[in-house]
Structure 1
Amino acid sequence: MTALSADPAATPPQTAKLVNLPNALTVLRLAMVPVFAVLLLQDHGSDEAGRWWATLVFGLAIITDRYDGMIARRTGQVTEFGKLADPIADKALTGTALIGLSVLMLLPWWVTLTILVREVGVTLLRFWVIRHGVIASSRGGKLKTVVQSLAIAMYILPLTGLLATARWWVMAFAVLLTVVTGLDYVYRALSLRRTSARAMRAAAARRAAGPTGTSGTRRDTAA
C-alpha cells in the first residue's frame, strides 16, 4: 500500500475546492443578471440614468467572464460547478440583454433570435461531442464575443446621432461573426466525431467484426 501511494501515477489528482475565487466571480455574474435587467427595463427603457447604470453592470459582468476562467486555469481551480455554471451565466447575461433590447424595440427580434439560436446550438453541440473531446475556442469565436459584447453595450447606452448609426454596423458585424463561427463550430464538431480516438476505436471494432459482425462464425460453420 505504501509503495502504491508513493507512486505519482497511482496518486489520485487533487480536486479544486468548490468555494474559490473563479466560482465566486461566476456566481457574482449570475447575481448581476437580474440587477442588469431591472436597470435596463426601468421606465420602459426611457430612464437614461438607468441605462447608463445598466451598461456599467453589463461591463462589470463581462469583466468577470474574462477573468474567472483565466484564474481557474492558471491556479488549478477548475471545478465541475465552474464548467457548468460559467456558460449558464454567459448565456443568461447575453440572452437577458438581447431580449430586453428587443422588448424595448431597440433591437430587431431577428437579430436576437439569430444570436440566441447560435449560442444554444453551440451549447448543444458541446454536449453532443463531449465524449470525443473539447473543441477549443477559435480566434473567430473570441473576436465574435468581443464584438458582440461591444455591440450590445452600445445598444444599451442611450446613444444618438452618429454613434447610434455606428452601433448598427457594429451589431451587423457581430451577427455576421455569430453565423460564420457557428457554422465553423458545426464543421469542427462533425470532424471531431469522425476523427477522435473514440471514433477511431469504434471504426476499428466495426472493421474487425466484418460486414455483419458474424462473418467469423459463418466461416467456421462453412469449414
Structure 2
Amino acid sequence: MTGVPASAAGGTGRTVPRGKLGTAAVNQASLWNIANILTMVRLVLVPAFVVLLLQDGGHDPVWRAWAWAAFAVAMITDVFDGHLARAYNLVTDFGKIADPIADKAIMAAGLICLSSLGDLPWWVTGVILFRELGITLMRFWVIRHGVIPASRGGKMKTLAQGTAVGMYVLVLTGPLATFRFWVMTVAVVLTVVTGLDYVRQAVVLRRRGLAAERADAAAKAGQRA
C-alpha cells in the first residue's frame, strides 16, 4: 500500500502518501517540544518578573528576592532551550523567532524597571538596549548574504549582563553593592566591544555577498553572450 484510508486523511476521499502524512504529523507536533516550552515559560516570566519587581514601590527586599528568582529561572531556561533544540534537532520556526524575543524581553524589562526605580543609570540601559536592537536589525540587513554566528564574546556579554542585572535586582549593600557595579561595568564594555565586532562582521559579510552576486551576474551575462 502506498497511502492511508481517506478517513485517516481527514475524510477527503483522497489517499495521502504515508511519508507525507508522517512528516506533517512530526512538523505539527514539533511546536510542543521541550525547547519551545521552555521558551514560552520564559515569555510568561517576563510580566511576572515585572510585577514582582515593582511590588510595594519596587524597593521591598522580599519582593525583589522573588523577582530575582523569576529572573534567574528565565536565564536558566535560556541556557537549556537552545542547547536542547540543537542537541535533539528540535529547532522550529517558532523557536527561531520566539527565543531571541524572550531573551531581549526579560533583559529589557529588567533594565527599564531598574532605571525607572533609580537603581541603574538610564544611560546604561540606553547603551545596552540600543546595541541589542541595532544588532538584531543588522542581522536582518545581511541575512540574505549569510548568518552572523554568536561569538564567544557575545556569550560572555550575555552572561555578564544577566549576572549584573540579577545582582541589581537584589537589594545589596556594602562590598556586594560595589562588586555589582564592576560587574555591570564589564557587561557594558563587553556590550560595546562585541557590538562593534558584529558590525565589522556584518560589513565584511555584506561586501562578500555583493561581490559574489556581481560575479554570478557577470558569469550569467557571459554565458548569454
Q: Same fold (TM over 0.5)?
A: yes
Alpha-carbon distance in 1 for matches of 2:56, 2:200: 44
Alpha-carbon distance in 2 for matches of 1:205, 1:73: 33
- Is the partner of 2:32 in helix, strand or coil? coil
Match of 1:138 in 2: 151
Match of 2:59 in 1: 46
Alpha-carbon distance in 2 for matches of 1:207, 1:87: 38
Match of 1:56 in 2: 69
2:94 pairs with one of 78, 81, 96: 81
Match of 1:219 in 2: none
Q: Following TM superposition, by how much is the alpha carbon of 1:200 offset from its aligned partner in structure 2, in angstroms? A: 4.0
- Is the partner of 2:214 in helix, strand or coil? helix
- Is the partner of 1:137 in helix, strand or coil? coil
When normalised by structure 1's length, the TM-score is 0.84
Identity of aligned residues (%): 57
Alpha-carbon distance in 1 for matches of 2:161, 2:78: 14
1:23 pairs with one of 18, 33, 36: 36
Alpha-carbon distance in 2 for matches of 1:182, 1:113: 14
Alpha-carbon distance in 2 for matches of 1:146, 1:209: 47
Match of 2:20 in 1: none
Q: Which runs of 5+ in 1 are unaligned?
A: 6-10, 217-223
The one-letter code sitting in structure 2 at the alignment partner of 1:183 is L
- Is the partner of 2:196 in helix, strand or coil? helix
Alpha-carbon distance in 2 for matches of 1:97, 1:65: 15
Q: Following TM superposition, by how much is the alpha carbon of 1:18 offset from its aligned partner in structure 2, in angstroms? A: 1.1
Match of 1:8 in 2: none
Match of 1:155 in 2: 168
Q: Following TM superposition, by how much is the alpha carbon of 1:201 offset from its aligned partner in structure 2, in angstroms? A: 3.4
Q: Deviations over 1:78-122 (max 9, x none)?
A: 000000000100111000000000000000000000000000011
Match of 1:66 in 2: 79
Q: Following TM superposition, by how much is the alpha carbon of 1:40 offset from its aligned partner in structure 2, in angstroms? A: 0.7
Q: Which runs of 5+ in 2 are unaligned?
A: 3-16, 18-22
Match of 1:204 in 2: 215
Q: Which range is displaced more, 130-139 or 14-23?
A: 14-23
Match of 1:194 in 2: 207
Task: Give the count of matched residue pairs.
Answer: 201
CA 1:195–1:201: 2 relative to 1, 3 Å: closer
The one-letter code sitting in structure 1 at the alignment partner of 2:101 is I
RMSD, aligned CA: 2.2
